[in-house]
Amino acid sequence: MNLVLIEDDVRIADFLRRGLRAEGYLVQAAATGPEGLALALEAHRTERRDGERALVVLDLMLPGINGMEICQALRAQGVQLPILMLTALGSTSDRVAGLRMGADDYLCKPFEFEELLARLEALARRGRDLQTQRGQMLQVADLTLDLQRMQAFRGSEPLSLTARELALLELLMSAPGRLFSRERILASVWGQSEDPLTNVVDVYIRRLRGKIDDGQPRVLIRTVRGLGYRLEPPWHTP
C-alpha cells in the first residue's frame, strides 16, 4: 500500500520512513506543506487510475502550509484518502479541529510505533469497506454513474442516456483525466468490427456532451484536438 508521509522533523520522518517500509508500505515523504499536498494529490490520482490504494500520515505543524490547511484542501478537492494526523498539540480542541477539517484519526506525539501501525491498519480496513460500498458507483465531480442500475446523474438530476451513451460514459469515468483516443473508444464501446474510419465516436461524444455539460457551470468532457477525449478529474482547474 502507498503511504504519503508529510513530516518536517527529520529525525521523526527518517524513523517512520524506515519503520513503515519495513512493514511493507511504499513510502513517499515530504518535509513541507506544499510538497506534501502535491504528493497526496498524486497518490489520489494514482489510486483513481491504477487502483493503488494509499494512506496519508500528516503532521500538523509544517512550513508553507500547515496540516489543517492540507487536510481541508484535499477534502475540498474530493480527495478521500484516509488521513492520520500527527501533532505535539494534545488538547481536545486541537483534535476536534483536525477531525472537523477532514482527518480520519489523530495521534499525539510522542507515540508508540505499534500504535501508529494499529491505527493505520484500522484506517486501511475502513477504506476497504468504503471501497466495497462504493464499488457500484463511479463519480467525477458532481457526475455520478450507478453501475448497478445503469443510471447517470449530474448533481441530483437524472440523465436520459442510451445504452451506448452509458457505455461510453462508463469508459470515460473509469479513468478521470486519462486521454482516450478515438480508436480506443471505438474498440472498447463498439468493438473491433466497427469501421475505423467512421465518425461515430465524435457523434456520440457530441450527444453525451449535450446531455451532461449543456447549461452546466463546469464542463467535464474535454476534447484534445487531434488526440481524443477525456473526462476532467475533480482536482483539475480549468
What predicted TM-score, i.e. pTM, was given to this entire model? 0.56
Contact 7, 66 (CB under 8 A): no
Q: The cell 498524486 sits on which residue?
A: 42
Same domain, 105 and 33: yes
125/131 Cα distance (integer angstroms): 10
Among candidate residues 84, 106, 133, the one where a domain is terminated: 133
**3-state secondary structure (DSSP) of residue 224:** strand
Contact 145, 192 (CB under 8 A): no
Same domain, 85 and 191: no
Same domain, 53 and 12: yes
34/15 Cα distance (integer angstroms): 22
Is 237 part of a structural domain of the chain? no
Same domain, 182 and 120: no
Number of domains in the chain: 2
Contact 58, 85 (CB under 8 A): yes
Reported as a single tens digit per residue, the pLDDT across 190-212 is: 875 556 678 899 999 999 999 99
CATH code where residue 182 lies = 1.10.10.10
Q: What is the pLDDT of residue 143?
A: 93
20/14 Cα distance (integer angstroms): 10
Asked if the peptide bond before residue 110 counts as cis, ω within 30 degrees of 0, the response is yes
Is 19 part of a structural domain of the chain? yes
Same domain, 46 and 161: no
Q: What is the pLDDT of residue 193?
A: 56
Lowest average pLDDT, out of 7-11, 93-97, 211-215, goes to 93-97
219/213 Cα distance (integer angstroms): 5
Same domain, 10 and 103: yes
Same domain, 44 and 59: yes
Among candidate residues 133, 156, 186, the one where a domain is terminated: 133
> Does residue 234 or residue 218 have the better pLDDT?
218
Reported as a single tens digit per residue, the pLDDT across 77-106 is: 888 899 999 987 766 676 677 677 788 888
Reported as a single tens digit per residue, the pLDDT across 100-145 is: 778 888 888 889 998 898 888 888 877 655 554 455 788 888 999 9
Q: Is the pLDDT of residue 52 over 80?
A: no
Is 33 part of a structural domain of the chain? yes
Same domain, 79 and 44: yes
Q: Is the pLDDT of residue 20 over 50?
A: yes
Average pLDDT over residues 23-48: 92
Contact 212, 220 (CB under 8 A): yes
CATH code where residue 96 lies = 3.40.50.2300
Q: What is the pLDDT of residue 12?
A: 95
Reported as a single tens digit per residue, the pLDDT across 141-183 is: 899 998 878 899 998 899 999 989 999 998 898 878 888 888 8
Contact 158, 152 (CB under 8 A): yes
231/102 Cα distance (integer angstroms): 26
Q: State which residues form the domain around 143.
A: 137-231
**Could you say which DSSP state residue 141 is in?**
T
Same domain, 110 and 153: no
Same domain, 44 and 112: yes
Among candidate residues 118, 133, 148, the one where a domain is terminated: 133
**Could you say which DSSP state residue 199 is in?**
-
Same domain, 42 and 82: yes
Same domain, 61 and 112: yes
Q: How far is the first Cα of the chain from the last one, in angstroms, to the nearest whole number? A: 31
